Amino acid sequence: MQNIVGFPEEEIKETLTKWGEKPFHTSQILTWIYHHKARSFEAMTNLSKSLRARLLENFHYSLPPIKKKSVSRDGTIKYLFELEDGSDIESVWMPSEGRNTLCISTQVGCRMACTFCLTGQLGLKRNLSSAEIIGQIMAVDRDLEELTENPISNVVIMGMGEPLDNYDELVKAIRLMVSPHAMKISNRKVTLSTSGLVDKIKRFEKEDLHVNLAISLNATENSTRTEIMPINKKHTIEELLETLRTYPLKATRRLTFEYVLLKEINDSHEDAVRLGKMLHGFKCKINLIPFNAFDRSDFQSPLESRVTEFQNYLLARNFTVFVRKNRGTDILGACGQLAAESFSVA
């Protein structure tokens, strides 16, 4: 039986048509699930009894169950979900002034094998379904609804997995996030992060979804990038940047380049100079993410003075540059640290 959560709008419409029902019930069903947060078809009182019965015969409603919650000193909450097949995935909720951001996963593990990333060390176990992707948002929203009025204002798709490596389910999930009938999250408030799957970026730009795109760049030379991000063997920095130069952006939007600073690997003055040259002419902002050193990692955190110098160099060249505070470092909820729980039980 199919989960109604994450089931695409178009497919609901097709199913209704097949049943001889009016297509306008699609938006009613979506409104019940995503706005009124109905947990059963019984609650959908503006649908006929026979349609509710038919939905019940053909669909079920389920969200991924929360197995564990870890609350950080800074208010960040890491959720561990146990999926039906026993796989674990994680989402991280980060509250801050004026916005509450949820970082969600798209795969169990990841095949990209970035060497600074704990998830990458797991390898890919499997892709998540759109129900499991969307379900993380709904489950966290439900868990926090009594705590705050708008538990999730922003969604970043940069948890476990390379989102574009799970293309079809990802696109289904994003369509539901931004659909005015479903989750109704503004596409400005959804950010998709990728390690740089060039072919998939080219395909994604035709989807007309206009969510923010963040590129995990992390190096300014191919030799270094290949060492820390093996995907670079397939798509070099030049190929990636060439693709991004023509990425269609709305007038007020820009790309985000993520750059994890690893001590003595990619944090030199020369790196800052090269980065400035490489990104010249891009409508972009740069997020510098000082690596958060943890056990089992060969990498070290950069010196604070290095981070400041790196940022100042780029600021002086008129780039918008933020140093992203690592959130949830005491619960291994920071960037590149998801899958820690899976490690401890493996």
Give the active site residues: 90, 335
> What residues from 69 to 128 belong to the interface with ligand SF4 (CB under 6 A)?
110, 112-114, 117, 119-120
- Measured from the CB atom, is 30 or 110 closer to ligand SF4? 110
> What residues from 183 to 222 belong to the interface with ligand SF4 (CB under 6 A)?
195
Q: Is residue 232 part of the contact set for ligand SF4 (CB under 6 A)?
A: no
Mark residues 263-302: x for contact with ligand SF4 by CB under 6 A, - for none. ----------------------------------------
- Measured from the CB atom, is 26 or 191 closer to ligand SF4? 191
- Measured from the CB atom, is 120 or 290 closer to ligand SF4? 120
Stretch that binds ligand SF4, among 129-137, 145-153, 158-166, 301-309 (CB under 6 A): 158-166
Q: Is residue 164 part of the contact set for ligand SF4 (CB under 6 A)?
A: no
At residue 186, the 3 state secondary structure works out as: coil
Rounded Cα distance, 327 and 334, in Å: 5
Q: Which residues have C-beta within 8 Å of that of residue 303, sequence separation ≥ 6?
A: 263
Order of strands across the sheet that contains 212-216: 66-71, 77-82, 88-96, 99-103, 154-157, 190-194, 212-216, 255-261, 284-290, 320-323
Report which secondary-structure segment, H or E, holds 99: strand 99-103
Interface with ligand SF4 (CB under 6 A), residue total: 12
User: CB-hemisphere CA count at 13 Å for 151?
Assistant: 18
From residue 217, alpha-carbon distances to 16, 52, 178, 308 in Å are 44, 48, 26, 19
The residue whose Cβ lies closest to ligand SF4 is 120
- Measured from the CB atom, is 30 or 108 closer to ligand SF4? 108
User: CB-hemisphere CA count at 13 Å for 227?
Assistant: 11
- Measured from the CB atom, is 114 or 321 closer to ligand SF4? 114
At residue 91, the 3 state secondary structure works out as: strand
- Measured from the CB atom, is 90 or 267 closer to ligand SF4? 90
**Whole-number minimum distance, CB 293 to ligand SF4, in Å?**
16
- Pick the binder of ligand SF4 from 64, 95, 135, 161 (CB under 6 A): 161
**Whole-number minimum distance, CB 160 to ligand SF4, in Å?**
6
Instruction: Assess contact for 163 and 106: CB atoms under 8 A.
Output: yes
> What residues from 31 to 70 belong to the interface with ligand SF4 (CB under 6 A)?
none
From residue 3, alpha-carbon distances to 6, 303, 336 in Å are 7, 48, 30
Q: Is residue 258 part of the contact set for ligand SF4 (CB under 6 A)?
A: no
Instruction: Assess contact for 193 and 160: CB atoms under 8 A.
Output: no
Rounded Cα distance, 271 and 228, in Å: 15
Mark residues 126-145: x for contact with ligand SF4 by CB under 6 A, - for none. --------------------
Q: Is residue 162 part of the contact set for ligand SF4 (CB under 6 A)?
A: yes
- 38: its two tokens: 């109905």
**Whole-number minimum distance, CB 208 to ligand SF4, in Å?**
25
Stretch that binds ligand SF4, among 75-83, 154-162, 280-288, 321-329 (CB under 6 A): 154-162
Beta bridge partners of 157: 192
At residue 59, the 3 state secondary structure works out as: strand
Query: Which spans of this chain sit near ligand SF4 (rule: CB under 6 A)?
Result: 110, 112-114, 117, 119-120, 160-162, 195, 336
